Structure formats: structure tokens, C-alpha cells
């Protein structure tokens, strides 16, 4: 049973407690940026008088995971889609493939890594709510299992039908997401994509990649590199007399 967040735009007052709590929890330096960056994993924006959070949607079948050639992104059994900067090779395919434009790069770092919400994985593993949900004083951000959150969203809509659009964003979008949203206005007015396919985009990963310039060439180089390293390791492991081509294989 995977966990996630429910964001209720009608209850959000844009106090920013969620963004600040995220910074503290994840030790992200600097002030909260006006939109998500590698150092600001969530922000609250106001569009046409409506407040909306920006953060990773934690897709059930994440395209970012399926395009990553080195497994730097992964979906945990609990639901959070996490990132391992130690594995990242900086190709940025995740940035190009994400249907919600979420992963951001540390452009100013010599060895940049991607930054995005990781759904407070360590807290979730301990059975605790995310820092942003815990910090929200108005019940606008709620943590729970996806089933609980969908039920809560339906309840709020049914109890105040005039206050909400009759739609739970994320139940079907992109094959389903761990973050669900409800609002008083059409979701495009909140800057959310309403043209994302209902089937999981990850199923069409190679179509996505085919649109990325030079992917085939880069991927080919990467595979060759992996092949070369593997072959070289086997060669070294088989001993100095194994006919290596590098310095270790030379006799003096």
C-alpha cells in the first residue's frame, strides 16, 4: 500500500510553512525560491487567486525512473520516488522525460546533481508523516495512504460540492500519482497539465527517448563504456599475465 499526499487548494492560505519545513527537513540551503529548484523542492504559487503547491507528483509508474540509464532514480515499495546523486551521471534525461517538469538541476555546481521532493522517505519508513504535511496548519496538505487520501478527497468534494471541481487530479493523470490534488477551479488554471496521458508514460519510455536529440549516440557510448569497464575488470581479475592492454598488464 503506497503513501502520498493530498493537496487541497481551497484550504491553502499560502503561508509557506510546507516549503520552510521541507528546507529544514532536507537541509536545503538558501531561501525558498519562487518555483521549484534543486534547492527548493516545493513552493506555493498563487495563480488567479488560487494557491497551489509545486512538487514531485510521485508517479505510480514514473517516467523519470524508466529513462534513467544508471538507476539513480527509483520508486520505493512505500511509494516515494527517490534519487541517488552518487549514481547520477548527469545525462538529465529525467528532466526531459518527466511529464510534470519536476527534476531540477544544480546548474551552478561543478558536479551537479538533480534535486526534487523525495516524499520524506526516511520519515515515511519510520511511519511518520512528511515534514510538509506535519507543518501545514490548515489541512491543505495531508499525508496518508493513497486510498485514504482518495477517500478524504471524495469526502471533501461530496460535503461541499459547490466549493470544488468534481475531479481528483492524480487519480488517473500519468497513470496515477502519489500526490493527489483537489481545487475550486479547473486544474489548468493552477498551471497543472491536463493533457498528460492516462496510461503510464513510462510504458512509452523509448518513444520519449527517441525525441531526445543524440540519445541513441549517447546511449551507445554509455553501453560501450559499461562493456569496456566490465571487460577490463575481468581482464585485471584474471591476473597480470592475461594479456592486458593497460599499464597494469605491461611487463617492465
Distance of CA 83 to the CA centre of its chain: 8
104 binds ligand SF4 (CB under 6 A): no
Tell me which residues in 58-87 interact with ligand SF4 (CB under 6 A): 58-59, 62-64, 81
In angstroms, the CA 84 to CA 118 distance is 10
Q: Residue 3 or residue 150: which is nearer to ligand SF4 going by CB?
A: 3
16 binds ligand SF4 (CB under 6 A): yes
Q: Residue 150 or residue 201: which is nearer to ligand SF4 going by CB?
A: 201
40 binds ligand SF4 (CB under 6 A): no
- What stretches of the chain adopt beta strand conformation (E)? 3-8, 43-47, 50-54, 73-75, 81-83, 104-105, 114-115, 141-145, 179-182
In angstroms, the CA 248 to CA 243 distance is 10
Q: Residue 2 or residue 63: which is nearer to ligand SF4 going by CB?
A: 63
Q: Residue 171 or residue 236: which is nearer to ligand SF4 going by CB?
A: 171
Residue pair 116/41 in contact (Cβ under 8 Å)? The answer is yes
First vs last Cα of the chain: how many Å apart?
61
Distance of CA 26 to the CA centre of its chain: 15
Q: How far is the CB of 252 from ligand SF4 (least distance, A)?
A: 52
Residue 164: strand pairing partners: none
In angstroms, the CA 68 to CA 178 distance is 20
Q: How far is the CB of 202 from ligand SF4 (least distance, A)?
A: 8
28 binds ligand SF4 (CB under 6 A): no
Burial of 141-169, coded b for 16+ CB within 10 Å and e otherwise, reads bbbbebeebbebbeebbeeeeeebbebbb
The span of 96-104, 162-170, 209-217, 230-238 binding ligand SF4 (CB under 6 A) equals 96-104
Q: How far is the CB of 221 from ligand SF4 (least distance, A)?
A: 25
DSSP tag of 13 = -
Binding mask 121-160 for ligand SF4 (x = CB under 6 A): ---------xxx--xx-x-xx-------------------
Q: How far is the CB of 145 from ligand SF4 (least distance, A)?
A: 15
120 binds ligand SF4 (CB under 6 A): yes
Interaction site with ligand SF4 (CB under 6 A): 12-18, 21-22, 25-26, 41-42, 44, 51, 53, 55-59, 62-64, 81, 98, 100, 102-103, 116-120, 130-132, 135-136, 138, 140-141
Amino acid at each position: 500500500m503506497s503513501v502520498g499526499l493530498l493537496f487541497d487548494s481551497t484550504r491553502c492560505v499560502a503561508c509557506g510553512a510546507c516549503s520552510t519545513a521541507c528546507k529544514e527537513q532536507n537541509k536545503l540551503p538558501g531561501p525558498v525560491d519562487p518555483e521549484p529548484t534543486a534547492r527548493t523542492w516545493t513552493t506555493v504559487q498563487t495563480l488567479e487567486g488560487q494557491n497551489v503547491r509545486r512538487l514531485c507528483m510521485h508517479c505510480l509508474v514514473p517516467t523519470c525512473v524508466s529513462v534513467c540509464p544508471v538507476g539513480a532514480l527509483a520508486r520505493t515499495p512505500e511509494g516515494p520516488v527517490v534519487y541517488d546523486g552518487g549514481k547520477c551521471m548527469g545525462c538529465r534525461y529525467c528532466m526531459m522525460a518527466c511529464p510534470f517538469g519536476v527534476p531540477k538541476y544544480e546548474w551552478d555546481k561543478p558536479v551537479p546533481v538533480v534535486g526534487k521532493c523525495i516524499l520524506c522517505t526516511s520519515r515515511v519508513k519510520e511511519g511518520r508523516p512528511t515534514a510538509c504535511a506535519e507543518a501545514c496548519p490548515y489541512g491543505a496538505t495531508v499525508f496518508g495512504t493513497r486510498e485514504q487520501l482518495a477517500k478524504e478527497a471524495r469526502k471533501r468534494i461530496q460535503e461541499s460540492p459547490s466549493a470544488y471541481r468534481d475531479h481528483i487530479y492524480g487519480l488517473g493523470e500519468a497513470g496515477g500519482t502519489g500526490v493527489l490534488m483537489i481545487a475550486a477551479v479547473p486544474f489548468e488554471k493552477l498551471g497543472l497539465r491536463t493533457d498528460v496521458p492516462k496510461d503510464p508514460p513510462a510504458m512509452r519510455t523509448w518513444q520519449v527517448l527517441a525525441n531526445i536529440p543524440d540519445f541513441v549516440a549517447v546511449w551507445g557510448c554509455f553501453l560501450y563504456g559499461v562493456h569496456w569497464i566490465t571487460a577490463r575488470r575481468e581482464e585485471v581479475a584474471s591476473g597480470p599475465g592475461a594479456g592486458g592492454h593497460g599499464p597494469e598488464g605491461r611487463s617492465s
